[in-house]
């Protein structure tokens, strides 16, 4: 009885403390009291966060802090992990994505994802981009052609590959592959694009290109990016969330997080004292 009271009190406090400080009221995703367990171990502790529309939100934090795990909740990729258990809610358009009647395939079309390592399919460049559309049942040549071109232009790859769309996607360079994967996700015109350390496997030049691309894409998409490169987060994001040991420590607009962090731990991490 007493414990329960304490817990509820803490939650209230937590809610107040971690209330998103975004300057906008337009949210795409809203996470409410999310707890995630791998078997018996808790990986995310009572996370609440609201992701603003058409902005870039960065998750930073040391390795193992749960930032990728949280990201993978947004399109329910954690469903693939047998031992993973989640409670709490994530709302898109006031609909909880963990509800039983949610079509996961449709959710993933609305919330696209790009992984750490480029993972193009062993198919042609064209087929890689058309993959999601074909799965939706689009098979008309002209529609596909238009969508592929649009997606490749959107991922700033069109000029480099327009003459060899029939060649294997595996033959591209790492940076090109990553942009191909972004084009593949963009072809479905998602609302949210989740980027899980998209440039960590790339060289600095390819990495810079991806950053540029992210900056351009926020016009159209809401972007959530996980990175452990703080300069990158500072450069490209509008909002930054700092996570540590499964807790969301601080969330706010990037400038205030990096210049005037409220939490000691955030400040320590940003200044490189740990992590």
Q: Is 188 in the site for other proteins (CB under 8 A)?
A: yes
Q: At closest approach, how far in Å is the CB of 113 from other proteins?
A: 4
Angstrom distances, CA of residue 264 to CA of 15, 261, 273:
19, 7, 11
CA distance 73 to 186: 19
Q: Is 165 in the site for other proteins (CB under 8 A)?
A: no
The three-state DSSP-derived secondary structure of 79-97 is HHCCCEEEEEEEEECCEEC
Q: At closest approach, how far in Å is the CB of 174 from other proteins?
A: 11
Q: Out of 11, 19, 135, 138, point to the residue binding other proteins (CB under 8 A).
A: 135
Nearer to other proteins, 123 or 235 (CB): 123
Bridge partner residues of 194 (DSSP): 113, 224
Q: Is 119 in the site for other proteins (CB under 8 A)?
A: yes
Angle between helices 141-154 and 174-186 (to 10 degrees): 130
Q: Is 38 in the site for other proteins (CB under 8 A)?
A: no
Which of 241, 234, 245, 247 lies closest to 262 in space, CA to CA?
241
Q: At closest approach, how far in Å is the CB of 158 from other proteins?
A: 20
Site for other proteins in 96-115 (CB under 8 A): 105-106, 108-109, 112-113, 115
Q: Which range, of 13-21, 133-141, 213-221, 229-237, touches other proteins by CB under 8 A?
A: 133-141
Site for other proteins in 195-254 (CB under 8 A): none
Which of 217, 189, 190, 187 lies closest to 198 in space, CA to CA?
217
CA distance 28 to 206: 29
List of residues contacting other proteins (CB under 8 A): 75, 77, 80, 105-106, 108-109, 112-113, 115, 117, 119-122, 131-132, 134-136, 168, 170-171, 181, 184-185, 188
């Amino acid at each position: 009885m007493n414990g329960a009271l304490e817990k509820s009190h803490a939650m209230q406090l937590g809610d107040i403390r971690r209330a998103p400080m975004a300057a906008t009221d337009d949210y795409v995703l809203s996470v409410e009291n999310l707890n995630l367990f791998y078997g018996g171990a808790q990986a995310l502790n009572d996370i609440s966060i609201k992701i603003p529309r058409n902005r870039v939100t960065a998750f930073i934090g040391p390795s193992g802090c749960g930032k990728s795990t949280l990201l993978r909740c947004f399109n329910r990729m954690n469903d693939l992990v047998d031992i993973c258990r989640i409670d709490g809610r994530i709302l898109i358009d006031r609909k909880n994505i963990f509800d039983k009647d949610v079509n996961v395939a449709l959710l993933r079309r609305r919330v696209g994802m790009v992984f750490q390592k480029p993972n193009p399919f062993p198919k042609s460049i064209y087929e890689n981009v058309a993959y999601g559309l074909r799965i939706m049942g689009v098979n008309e040549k002209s529609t596909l052609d238009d969508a592929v071109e649009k997606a490749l232009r959107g991922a700033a790859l069109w000029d480099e590959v327009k003459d060899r769309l029939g060649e294997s996607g595996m033959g591209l360079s790492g940076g090109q592959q990553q942009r191909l994967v972004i084009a593949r996700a963009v072809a479905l015109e998602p609302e949210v694009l989740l980027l899980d350390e998209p440039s960590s496997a790339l060289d600095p030049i390819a990495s810079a290109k991806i950053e540029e691309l992210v900056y351009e894409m926020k016009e159209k998409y809401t972007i959530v990016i996980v990175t452990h490169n703080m300069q990158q987060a500072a450069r490209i994001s509008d909002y930054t969330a700092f996570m540590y040991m499964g807790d969301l420590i601080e969330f706010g607009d990037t400038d205030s997080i990096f210049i005037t962090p409220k939490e000691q731990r955030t400040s320590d991490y940003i200044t490189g004292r740990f992590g």
